[in-house]
Amino acid sequence: MAQYQPDHYRVLGVPVDAEPKRLKEAYHRLSRVYHPDLRGGSRAATERFQLIAAAYGELSDAAQREQYDRKLVLMDPLRLVDDPRAERALDRIDGLVGRLRRRPKALPLQKRGRDLRVKAEVPLHVAALGGIWPVAVDYETTCGGCAGIGTTEPELNPGCHVCDGAGKVKVGLRRQLQTCNFCHGRGEVLLAPCADCSGSGRLQDRRDIKVKIPRRMRDGATLRVRGAGERPIGGGPPGDVIVTAKIASHPLLEVRGDDLICQLPLTWTEAIGGCTRQVPTLSGPQRLRIPPGSWSGRELRIGGQGMPRQRTGRGDLRYILLLDSPADLSADELSQVAQLESRLGSERFARRVRFVRALDELDPPSE
């Protein structure tokens, strides 16, 4: 891996559009810190001083600086151009931006953006019948406030004293290069981080994308939305969004094979006298007629309104009636119910009568 080399502007701790006067000030300030004579000939300080001198040497000459800026654009496009918002920040560097715009094809960066993976819950009716469903995706974008550099005041950030601005340090017996822990590879200490991104140079942006849900979607299905992923820095085709889609459980409808089951509780008068009730279906509520004399466990079936079948058609939507009862009847209330029941006579409860007869035949009384 190539060693991280801070560019001339970073070495001097100045913004890319710094005036010559500011370059000179930075050079004098840093020389006073890193001059080998003042640092007892320390090798790190000497190397650092050489970088500072080389940076100033090149940037202090207008023609050489222009050439260097051109090279910098190619070396590190992130530094100077990224998304449209960054361009506003770059407008200050008029000359440079002008040159960039004239030669967009010179940027050798046409790699595809990153794919983004997200999890989503799809409601049952969309998962069954198919349709478009919005899914929230977190995008990382370059911070417009600092153009991705992490600071708007580079001159306030001193070079890192741990890695001497290299961003890497040598560790272990084999002197392997590792990212500097102190500056996280920046080569400078971020004393003045950008207020918008806290110095990361990136911002999170949550947006909804429209995902096409197929009919009869499987729970946990993987759906790919082409071109909705991250846009690569410096231009190029965007990546994809890969959605792992879970079917959200419905509060009232339960999937059983191709059928849908709904438990429908009724009061005594609704069940005994019959009624019309509002019931859920996959395509919104509809009215269901409950015939009089209904009992708990009775099934009312609407054909073709269940889950889509493998090939064609749909299963059934089955409403299972439940005769609900209050659990807290007073003794008085209970005796009123008992009075009515005894007036009716046990013979009026047809299913109960059939049950008792069948039981008697099953187990005749012994002689």
Structure tokens at 150: 């992490």
Question: CB of 48: closest distance to Zn ion in angstroms?
Answer: 12
The residue range among 127-135, 142-150, 213-221, 224-232 that interacts with Zn ion, by the rule CB under 5 A, is: 142-150
The residue range among 138-146, 226-234, 301-309, 339-347 that interacts with Zn ion, by the rule CB under 5 A, is: 138-146
The residue range among 10-18, 191-199, 271-279, 340-348 that interacts with Zn ion, by the rule CB under 5 A, is: 191-199
Among 11, 89, 90, 143, the residue binding Zn ion under the rule CB under 5 A is 143
Question: CB of 4: closest distance to Zn ion in angstroms?
Answer: 9
Residue 160 engages Zn ion in binding (rule: CB under 5 A) = yes
Among 18, 120, 128, 146, the residue binding Zn ion under the rule CB under 5 A is 146
Q: What distance in Å separates the CA atoms of residue 318 and residue 298, rounded to the nearest whole number? A: 10
Pick 182 or 349: Cβ nearer Zn ion: 182
**Among residues 172, 161, 175, which one has the least CA distance to residue 45?**
161
Question: CB of 256: closest distance to Zn ion in angstroms?
Answer: 54
Residue 213 engages Zn ion in binding (rule: CB under 5 A) = no
Q: What distance in Å separates the CA atoms of residue 100 and residue 83, rounded to the nearest whole number? A: 13
**Residue 57: what residue type?**
G
Among 194, 228, 271, 282, the residue binding Zn ion under the rule CB under 5 A is 194
Which residues 166-185 are close enough to bind Zn ion by CB under 5 A? Answer: 180, 182-183
Pick 146 or 223: Cβ nearer Zn ion: 146
Q: What is the 3-state secondary structure (H, E, C) of 242-308?
A: EEEEEECCCCCCEEECCEEEEEEEECHHHHHHCEEEEECCCCCCEEEEECCCCCCCCEEEECCCCCE
Pick 73 or 143: Cβ nearer Zn ion: 143
DSSP lists the bridge partners of residue 222 as 244
Pick 148 or 234: Cβ nearer Zn ion: 148
Q: Which residue has the tokens 């004098």?
A: 28
Residue 51 engages Zn ion in binding (rule: CB under 5 A) = no
Residue 162 engages Zn ion in binding (rule: CB under 5 A) = yes
List % helix, strand, coil for the chain (3-state, nearest 5).
35, 25, 45
Given a contact cutoff of 8 angstroms between Cβ atoms, the answer to whether 243 and 229 are in contact is no
Residue 233 engages Zn ion in binding (rule: CB under 5 A) = no
Chain centroid to Cα 63, Å, comes to 47
Which residues 52-81 are close enough to bind Zn ion by CB under 5 A? Answer: none
Given a contact cutoff of 8 angstroms between Cβ atoms, the answer to whether 228 and 276 are in contact is no
Among 83, 155, 196, 258, the residue binding Zn ion under the rule CB under 5 A is 196
Q: What distance in Å separates the CA atoms of residue 334 and residue 355, rounded to the nearest whole number? A: 25
Question: CB of 169: closest distance to Zn ion in angstroms?
Answer: 7
- Provide the binding-site residues for Zn ion, judged by CB under 5 A: 143, 145-146, 160, 162-163, 180, 182-183, 194, 196-197
